[in-house]
């Protein structure tokens, strides 16, 4: 359920019309705090418990006896004022006028007018009784939400610390482990050579990711690693596992290969690609070391140090 802001009540302390309407529509509404406690205007657990209780419903449906004895107007006047529902007050006025007209006709000397008065009185009584039974469910919801029950004021929520940005390399390490677990779990469905190829990719990328995480990855390295770990490798496995096992092993496509053979071929290409990427990263670091060596050699050559 959603919460809405408190609305002001009347001078008699009862909730306002907007507040009543929110309860009838099933929204939770809370009143302001008083002395560290707050009025439970519509706590869901209280409303639900009361409405499920047959004893409570019967005890709060006593007002149906009022229209049963012909005082429909009094019952709807009471509910309309307590529930702040203008339509019920208008209904009370209509029943009052109808009863008054019926009694006026019955008191006449003409027999026809007496019969019309009796019919109007009986019709008003029947209509009011049916109307009361239909309105009782709405009245019970209002009673369940507004008969009041003190509950401790909810403590203020603790401030949420903003989460630290996730390390993309750590995320790639976790993703790689997840892909390997998927391959191991489906080893019975994958063709021969598929699981060893996936593990070979892991053997290449796992130390590479640890190396990159230690010194920091540049944009191009991160892009290439993400492509293998999050797209190419899980994509190949996922597309294959989506196929029926027999189809993947026996059906040959336009190129003359089965999906199983195509998967193994792609995995071998990924092994080669991972090795190429590993070599490129290590070569780049080696070049950096060589560049620094040449700089130091030029900077600290003996001739430069001679006075």
pLDDT tens column, 246-291:
888 888 888 888 888 898 999 899 999 989 988 888 888 788 788 7
Is residue 159 in some structural domain? no
- Residues 140, 183 share a domain: no
Is residue 183 in some structural domain? yes
Supply 84's token pair: 């702040």
pLDDT at 43 over 70: no
Q: What is the mean pLDDT of the chain?
A: 74
* Mean pLDDT of the region 131-135: 80
- Residues 50, 142 share a domain: yes
Is residue 158 in some structural domain? no
Is residue 126 in some structural domain? yes
User: What pLDDT score does 129 carry?
Assistant: 75
* C-alpha span between 172 and 209 (Å, rounded): 8
- Residues 242, 121 share a domain: no
Region of 148 on the Ramachandran plot (φ > 0 left; ψ -120 to 50 alpha; else beta)? left
Is residue 163 in some structural domain? no
The residue ranking higher by pLDDT, 53 or 38, is 53
Region of 229 on the Ramachandran plot (φ > 0 left; ψ -120 to 50 alpha; else beta)? alpha
- Residues 178, 110 share a domain: no
- Residues 96, 43 share a domain: yes
- Residues 202, 95 share a domain: no
For residue 25, what are the domain limits?
3-152
- Residues 287, 185 share a domain: yes
Which residue pairs from 219-222 have beta carbons closer than 8 angstroms and sit at least 24 positions apart in sequence? 221/277, 221/281, 222/168, 222/169
Is residue 238 in some structural domain? yes
pLDDT at 42 over 90: no
Is residue 307 in some structural domain? no
Domain stop point among 125, 152, 179:
152
Q: Is the pTM of this model over 0.95?
A: no
* C-alpha span between 124 and 72 (Å, rounded): 8
- Tally of CA atoms within 13 A in the half-sphere of 234 that contains its CB: 16
- Residues 295, 270 share a domain: yes
- Residues 246, 206 share a domain: yes
pLDDT tens column, 213-233:
887 777 887 888 888 889 998
Q: Is 197 helix (H, G, I), strand (E, B) or coil?
A: helix
Beta-strand runs (E) in the chain: 3-4, 28-29, 33-34, 37-39, 150-152
From the list 49, 66, 77, 36, the residue with the least C-alpha distance to 140 is 49
Supply 95's token pair: 């029943």
How many independent structural domains does the chain possess? 2
């Amino acid at each position: 359920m959603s919460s809405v802001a408190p609305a002001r009540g009347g001078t008699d302390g009862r909730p306002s019309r907007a507040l009543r309407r929110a309860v009838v529509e099933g929204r939770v509404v809370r009143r302001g705090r008083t002395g560290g406690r707050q009025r439970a205007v519509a706590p869901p657990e209280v409303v639900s418990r009361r409405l499920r209780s047959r004893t409570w419903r019967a005890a709060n449906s006593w007002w149906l006896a009022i229209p049963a004895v012909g005082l429909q107007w009094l019952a709807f006047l009471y509910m309309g004022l307590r529930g702040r529902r203008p339509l019920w007050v208008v209904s009370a006025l209509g029943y009052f006028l109808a009863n008054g007209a019926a009694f006026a006709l019955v008191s006449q000397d003409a027999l026809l007018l007496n019969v019309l008065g009796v019919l109007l009185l009986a019709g008003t009584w029947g209509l009011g009784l049916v109307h009361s039974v239909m309105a009782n469910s709405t009245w019970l919801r209002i009673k369940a939400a507004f008969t009041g029950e003190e509950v401790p004021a909810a403590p203020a929520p603790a401030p949420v610390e903003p989460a630290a940005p996730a390390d993309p390399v750590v995320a790639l390490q976790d993703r790689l482990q997840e892909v390997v677990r998927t391959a191991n779990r489906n080893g019975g469905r994958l063709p021969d050579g598929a699981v060893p190829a996936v593990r070979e990719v892991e053997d290449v990328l796992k130390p590479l990711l640890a190396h990159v995480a230690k010194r920091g990855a540049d944009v191009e390295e991160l892009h290439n690693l993400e492509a293998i770990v999050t797209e190419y490798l899980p994509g190949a496995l996922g597309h294959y596992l989506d196929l029926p096992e027999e189809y993947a092993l026996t059906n040959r496509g336009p190129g003359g290969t089965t999906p199983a053979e195509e998967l193994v071929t792609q995995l071998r290409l990924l092994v080669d690609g991972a090795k190429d990427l590993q070599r490129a990263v290590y070569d780049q670091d080696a070049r950096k070391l060589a560049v620094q060596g040449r700089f130091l050699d030029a900077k600290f050559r003996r001739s430069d140090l001679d006075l």
